[in-house]
């Protein structure tokens, strides 16, 4: 999601609008303070100075040392480079690019006369409306009558001339020199004060205006100057880059510059252009023009890394400096304070608070969430970078929480509102405006209980500078725009690496087949775009699809690529994350016939970081679908034939995906995916034949794996792959992935419970024979929950997806009979010289930096520990318990919906055979066998359904046990749990579904009915029973009255014998 928030052009008049609402909006303050004071009790004046220190602020809170220490105590790296100079440049370029007419274009960029006219017409129309409605008045409180200058002249055309300010210059919002105010007439808030142009800042004059004012723009604002503004002569063309583009130098303290006989003194924090090398310290503007100057004072380059420590040092250096709306009397309003802080790093923030809220690396809209959740999210954001907090009219720099847990910020602000213990004549509560008028440290509770509310409650936007959202915030954050990417020069570096790699498909691109360019990255690169440049150097517009992460992936397709040399760049402005030049050949390659009895393929690539990342991207894109849609596919080949899903579609250039027919069951699916990918890219592939396990005897595999080097008789590459797949399918089964964790002779191995390890393509084996493949991680959103999606296949070849939870990903940490859990593919290594294949051992993987490490983490701890860890990865921010309860009910409803289909399919099958009974297997075989019982009974599904019911109804107890995981304190747990139980009852009763009874009539049940029948559902899986029994209809009920058949007494005895497996929710190991 990109950060694109619409802002009306008229908001440019906010000019860093402060937190100050006009006094007339405060309860008990309908008149100016001087008039209202006589009508109020002395204990509740209309306005009064704020206490010093502010409420909840101690002397320690006002020190830089305190907040540096608190940051270190919270584990924040004070000196980590949140933005490098190159990233600062990209951020500047990104926020200056684009079509938003309210965005202030850079002074070195061409000015669009059309857009300028649109901006002026909207601003002036807004001002005319404000004056005509008397929302703005003059200093005497009188209407402004003369609006003749508030129209854009018909023939106005900008004639830009660059100058430099020689002294502070007021930049007016309107073509009028005199101030204007809201009717409350607080003279500190001149609504015509857009900004103040500082000495030595460049400013571009655009033309004279009727009435004598001059239209001008600075780096950050557009407005009007008085005709006598102190300006340098026009900057010559040869000096424009030095004035506009070269990195600034900042005065560390007051500095006097010498240029011949001239002397110019600038305050601390002034920004100057660098002098040409060898000609002085700075290029200074004077009445005579630009001249090199020298100084004995320290000049600090702004081209430096942005770190937490450096930002705090700059912010606290301005503590207690005066507030000034629009730069009034040399002060700083909220946005100017931040503009000055970040200018010391070369970061060009906009002038106005509303636009600064869009100028971060990413931002999060928090307007709709409660304060408690908002605070948790702000704390998470602070771990990612520097945090700004914005609400309409104000912005501040977040400092964090003190040791007592109270949140604080440093900001420049004029006032806050404090409720009084008094009432007005009509019983209305009275309030006092407390004047601060400086840069101050405050907590976020200021204004609590007032008509404006406290600062935290008012925050609508959390803005982060530096860092990436990470899994905690990815689903809630809007990334900044990407700076335009340009083609690197022919002699410039253009490289990728294992951790950020460029791939193309087909393996030898040519104009007769669509070209796909795929880029993968192990780490989140932040805002980037994939740009493709054709042989003429022109950028090719192609839709870019994103996946991940980790790992992250981007891919784009060009339907008819031009022959010649192409360039692919994943980047952001001048920052190139990955780059590659490649050739699209004129003609398709010729395919030589295969020789019989040769390997299915000979590996030419290696399994390493880049190919593993590509495999994860391939799997995620293959199963990509909106999470809230219940989707199944008839078989795997349906997915592989779809070029919109399969990023390796026809990669071998043999039209192979139209010829293959891959229909794996659940045990085959991970093997088919891995083998298909390995064949497409010519990677080594190996698998073992394993012995099925049983109680006390875990699965074990043979010492020597089968590989793709085994000879096959097929005459072409596609047939050779089909031969290999047939052999593989005969060799593998569900026990192949349930081997013990410490066993080296396996195809897969257990991995740590981390996001990096549980990437798409990772196998999940449950203890009872079902196998899934991790398909995607969907991030936790602002008001929703993350999802870990698994893909699986059924005995009939149907492929679907399911969410991670106890009812769908069954697990046990017990390894006596089998090894369940998440497992990665054991890396396979091809020795070209020996023409042999080997696999890495657990110990080699434990020490490896190239592959996901071996780990037995999953088996250390209890069953609850396992699920808590994975759920913590899925939702890394604290969860709202109410939403979580509803999500669990959603998942239960999903399981029940699936069961309706399964039971219906069983009924149709039974009817097709005249209801002739199906034979029931004995023992653990009821969960996994072959034939009609496997296809149409539901013992596995029903066991998962029972586990899911337990999770749903047991959730309130889980919250009671672990309140901190859900953002609750001990005091509020009891009430919260009671509310959850009431919510659960309502949700279960409200979710209804229907099934067709034996006579064809529809019968409606609710989820509450299913939950209440959970004991009877322990024996409802036999397709020989009527459908009413399958849904546990009580005997003698109207619902049960249409039942016409029952399972045999022998079957019922066996089901009673096996019932403890369902009662304890534990399948026997196989």
pLDDT digits (tens, 9 = 90+) for 796-818: 889 999 989 877 898 999 999 89
**pLDDT tens digits along 566-587:** 999 999 988 999 999 999 999 9
Q: Where is 981: in which H helix or E strand?
A: helix 973-990
* pLDDT of res. 574: 87
C-alpha R_g of the chain: 35
* pLDDT of res. 6: 39
690 contacts: CB under 8 Å, gap ≥ 6 = 699, 700, 701, 702, 732, 733, 735, 736, 739, 746
Tokens (6 digits) for 552: 């992250």
With a cut of 70, say whether residue 15 has pLDDT above it.
no
**pLDDT tens digits along 53-94:** 999 999 999 999 999 999 999 999 999 999 999 999 999 988
The answer to whether the CB of 565 falls within 8 A of the CB of 581 is: yes
Q: Phi-psi region for residue 447, left (φ > 0), alpha (ψ -120 to 50) or beta?
A: left
* pLDDT of res. 31: 38
The superfamily CATH assigns to domain 109-244 is SH3 Domains (2.30.30.40)
* pLDDT of res. 104: 66
With a cut of 60, say whether residue 339 has pLDDT above it.
yes
Instruction: For the beta carbon of residue 225, count every other beta carbon within 10 angstroms.
Output: 24
pLDDT exceeding 90 applies to what percent of the chain?
79
Q: Distance of CA 99 to CAs 96, 121, 794, 823, Å? A: 9, 17, 50, 47
Q: Distance of CA 420 to CAs 43, 54, 636, 1003, Å? A: 8, 16, 69, 62
6 contacts: CB under 8 Å, gap ≥ 6 = none
With a cut of 90, say whether residue 32 has pLDDT above it.
no
* pLDDT of res. 100: 54
In whole angstroms, what is the distance from residue 1050 CA to residue 1055 CA?
A: 9
Q: SS3 string of 633-645? A: ECCHHHHHCCCCC
* pLDDT of res. 26: 44
* pLDDT of res. 498: 97
In whole angstroms, what is the distance from residue 522 CA to residue 610 CA?
A: 8
For the ranges 34-43, 437-446, 473-482, 782-791, the one whose mean pLDDT is highest: 437-446
426 contacts: CB under 8 Å, gap ≥ 6 = none
In whole angstroms, what is the distance from residue 826 CA to residue 846 CA?
A: 12
Angle at 105 between CA 101 and CA 110, to 5 degrees: 110
Calculate helix-pair angle for 308-317, 334-343, nearest 10 degrees.
Answer: 130
In whole angstroms, what is the distance from residue 150 CA to residue 129 CA?
A: 11
pTM exceeding 0.85: no
Q: Residue with structure tokens 């570096």?
A: 493
9-63+308-479 placed in CATH 3.50.30.30: no
The answer to whether the CB of 167 falls within 8 A of the CB of 285 is: no
Q: How confident is the model at residue 410 (pLDDT cuts 50, 70, 90)?
A: very high
* pLDDT of res. 88: 93
Of residues 573 and 314, more confidently modeled: 314
* pLDDT of res. 827: 97
The answer to whether the CB of 995 falls within 8 A of the CB of 1001 is: no
Per-residue pLDDT averaged across 882-888, rounded? 87
**pLDDT tens digits along 240-251:** 999 999 899 999
Q: How confident is the model at residue 36 (pLDDT cuts 50, 70, 90)?
A: very low
* Residue ranges per structural domain of the chain: 9-63+308-479, 109-244, 253-301, 485-538+566-585, 593-877, 880-1070
What's phi and psi for 90, nearest 5 deg?
A: -65, -40
Q: How confident is the model at residue 699 (pLDDT cuts 50, 70, 90)?
A: very high
1 contacts: CB under 8 Å, gap ≥ 6 = 477, 478, 479
Residue 11 DSSP one-character state: G
Per-residue pLDDT averaged across 252-275, rounded? 93
With a cut of 50, say whether residue 18 has pLDDT above it.
no
**pLDDT tens digits along 463-516:** 999 989 999 999 999 999 999 999 999 999 999 999 999 999 999 999 999 999
* pLDDT of res. 2: 46
Per-residue pLDDT averaged across 1005-1021, rounded? 98
Q: Distance of CA 27 to CAs 181, 188, 260, Å? A: 20, 21, 60
Q: How confident is the model at residue 109 (pLDDT cuts 50, 70, 90)?
A: confident
Average pLDDT over the chain reads 92
**pLDDT tens digits along 147-189:** 999 999 998 999 999 999 999 999 999 999 999 999 988 888 8
Of residues 879 and 224, more confidently modeled: 224
In whole angstroms, what is the distance from residue 1006 CA to residue 993 CA?
A: 6
Tokens (6 digits) for 1067: 């399948």
* pLDDT of res. 98: 58
Tokens (6 digits) for 623: 């199963």
On the question of a common fold for 9-63+308-479 and 109-244, the answer reads no
* pLDDT of res. 99: 56
Calculate helix-pair angle for 609-622, 669-681, nearest 10 degrees.
Answer: 120
* pLDDT of res. 181: 95
Q: How confident is the model at residue 4 (pLDDT cuts 50, 70, 90)?
A: very low
Identify the three-state secondary structure at position 1025: coil
Note the Cα 436 to chain centre separation in Å.
Answer: 37
Tokens (6 digits) for 234: 């026009």
């Amino acid at each position: 999601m990109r950060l694109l928030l619409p802002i009306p052009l008229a908001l440019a008049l906010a000019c860093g609008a402060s937190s100050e609402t006009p006094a007339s909006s405060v309860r008990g303050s309908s008149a100016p303070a001087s008039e209202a004071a006589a009508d109020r009790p002395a204990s509740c004046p209309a306005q009064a100075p704020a206490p010093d220190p502010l409420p909840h602020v101690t002397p320690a809170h006002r020190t830089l040392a305190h907040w540096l220490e608190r940051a270190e105590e919270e584990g924040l790296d004070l000196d980590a480079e949140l933005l490098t100079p190159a990233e600062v440049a990209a951020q500047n370029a990104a926020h200056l690019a684009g079509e938003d007419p309210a965005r202030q274009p850079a002074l070195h960029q061409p000015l669009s006369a059309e857009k300028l006219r649109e901006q002026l017409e909207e601003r002036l129309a807004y001002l005319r409306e404000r004056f005509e409605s008397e929302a703005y008045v003059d200093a005497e409180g009188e209407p402004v009558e003369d609006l003749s200058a508030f129209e854009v002249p018909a023939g106005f055309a900008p004639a830009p001339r660059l100058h430099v300010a020689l002294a502070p210059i007021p930049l007016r919002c309107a073509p009028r020199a005199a101030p204007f105010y809201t009717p409350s007439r607080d003279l500190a808030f001149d609504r015509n004060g857009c900004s103040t142009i500082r000495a030595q800042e460049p400013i571009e004059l655009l033309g004279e205006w009727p009435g004598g004012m001059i239209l001008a723009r600075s780096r950050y604002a557009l407005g009007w100057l008085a005709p006598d503004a102190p300006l340098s002569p026009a900057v010559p063309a040869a000096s424009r880059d030095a004035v506009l583009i070269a990195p600034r130098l900042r005065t560390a303290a007051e500095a006097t510059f010498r240029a011949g006989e001239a002397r110019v003194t600038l305050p601390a924090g002034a920004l100057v252009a660098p002098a040409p090398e060898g000609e002085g310290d700075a290029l200074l503007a004077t009445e005579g023009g630009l001249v090199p100057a020298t100084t004995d004072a320290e000049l600090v380059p702004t081209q430096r890394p942005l770190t937490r420590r450096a930002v705090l040092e700059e912010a606290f250096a301005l503590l207690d400096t005066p507030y000034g709306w629009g730069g009034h009397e040399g002060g700083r309003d909220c946005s100017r304070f931040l503009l000055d802080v970040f200018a010391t790093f070369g970061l060009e923030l906009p002038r106005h608070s509303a636009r600064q809220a869009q100028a971060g690396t990413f931002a999060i809209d928090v307007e709709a969430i409660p304060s408690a959740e908002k605070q948790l999210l702000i704390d998470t954001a602070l771990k990612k970078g520097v945090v700004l907090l914005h609400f309409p009219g104000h912005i501040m720099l977040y400092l964090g929480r003190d040791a007592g847990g109270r949140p604080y910020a440093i900001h420049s602000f004029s006032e806050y509102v404090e409720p009084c213990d008094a009432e007005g004549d009509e019983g209305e509560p009275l309030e006092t405006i407390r004047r601060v008028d400086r840069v101050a440290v405050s907590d976020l509770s200021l204004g609590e209980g007032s008509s404006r509310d406290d600062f935290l409650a008012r925050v609508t936007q959390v803005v982060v500078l530096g860092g990436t959202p990470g899994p905690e915030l990815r689903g809630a954050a809007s990334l900044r725009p990407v700076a335009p990417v340009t083609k690197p020069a022919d002699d410039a570096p253009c490289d990728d690496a294992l951790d950020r790699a460029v791939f193309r498909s087909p393996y030898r691109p040519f104009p007769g087949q669509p070209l796909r360019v795929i880029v993968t990255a192990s780490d989140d690169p932040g805002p980037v775009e994939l740009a493709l440049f054709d042989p003429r150097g022109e950028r090719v517009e192609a839709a870019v699809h994103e996946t991940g992460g980790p790992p992250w992936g981007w891919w784009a397709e060009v339907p008819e690529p031009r022959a010649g040399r192409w360039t692919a760049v994943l980047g952001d402005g001048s920052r190139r994350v990955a780059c590659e030049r490649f050739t699209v050949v004129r003609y398709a390659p010729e395919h030589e016939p295969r020789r019989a009895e040769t390997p299915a393929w000979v590996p030419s690539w290696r399994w390493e970081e880049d190919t593993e990342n590509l495999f994860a991207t391939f799997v995620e894109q293959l199963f990509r679908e909106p999470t809230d849609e219940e989707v199944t596919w008839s078989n795997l080949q349906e997915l592989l034939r779809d070029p919109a899903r399969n990023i390796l579609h026809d990669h071998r250039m043999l039209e192979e995906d139209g010829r293959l027919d891959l229909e794996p069951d659940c045990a085959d699916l991970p093997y088919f995916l891995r083998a298909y990918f390995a064949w497409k890219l010519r990677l080594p592939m190996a698998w073992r034949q394993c012995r099925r396990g049983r109680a006390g005897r875990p699965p074990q595999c043979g010492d020597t794996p089968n590989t793709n080097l085994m000879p096959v008789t097929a005459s072409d590459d596609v047939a050779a792959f089909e031969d290999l797949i047939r052999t593989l399918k005969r060799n593998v089964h569900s026990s192949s992935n349930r081997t013990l964790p410490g066993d080296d002779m396996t195809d897969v191995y257990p991995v740590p419970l981390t996001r990096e390890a549980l990437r798409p393509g990772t196998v999940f084996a449950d203890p009872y024979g079902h196998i899934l493949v991790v398909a995607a991680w969907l991030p936790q959103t602002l008001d929703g929950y993350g999802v870990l999606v698994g893909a699986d296949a059924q005995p009939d070849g149907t492929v679907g997806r399911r969410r991670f939870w106890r009812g769908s990903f069954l697990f046990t940490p017990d390894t006596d009979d089998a090894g369940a859990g998440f497992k990665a593919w054991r890396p396979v290594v091809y020795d070209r010289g020996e023409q042999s294949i080997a696999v890495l051992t657990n110990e080699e993987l434990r020490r490896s930096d190239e592959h996901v490490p071996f780990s037995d983490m999953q088996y250390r701890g209890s069953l609850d520990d396992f699920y808590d860890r994975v759920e913590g990865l899925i939702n890394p921010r604290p969860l709202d318990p109410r939403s979580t309860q509803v999500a669990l009910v959603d998942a239960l409803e999903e399981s029940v919906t699936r069961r309706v289909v399964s039971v219906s399919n069983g009924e149709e099958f039974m009817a097709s055979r005249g209801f002739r009974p199906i034979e029931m297997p004995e023992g653990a075989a009821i969960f996994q066998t072959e034939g009609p019982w496997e296809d149409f009974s539901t013992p596995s599904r029903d066991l998962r359904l029972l586990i899911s019911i337990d999770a749903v109804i047991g959730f309130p107890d889980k919250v009671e046990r672990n309140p901190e995981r859900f953002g609750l304190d001990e005091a509020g747990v009891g009430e919260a749990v009671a509310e959850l139980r009431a919510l659960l009852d309502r949700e279960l009763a409200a979710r209804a579904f229907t099934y067709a009874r034996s006579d064809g009539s529809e019968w409606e049940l609710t989820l509450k009915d299913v939950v209440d029948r959970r004991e009877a559902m322990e024996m409802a899986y036999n397709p020989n029973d009527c459908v009413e029994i399958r849904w546990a209809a009580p005997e003698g009920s109207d619902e049960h009255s249409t039942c016409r058949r029952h399972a045999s007494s022998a079957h019922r005895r066996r089901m009673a014998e096996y019932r403890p497996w369902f009662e304890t929710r534990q399948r026997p190991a196989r």
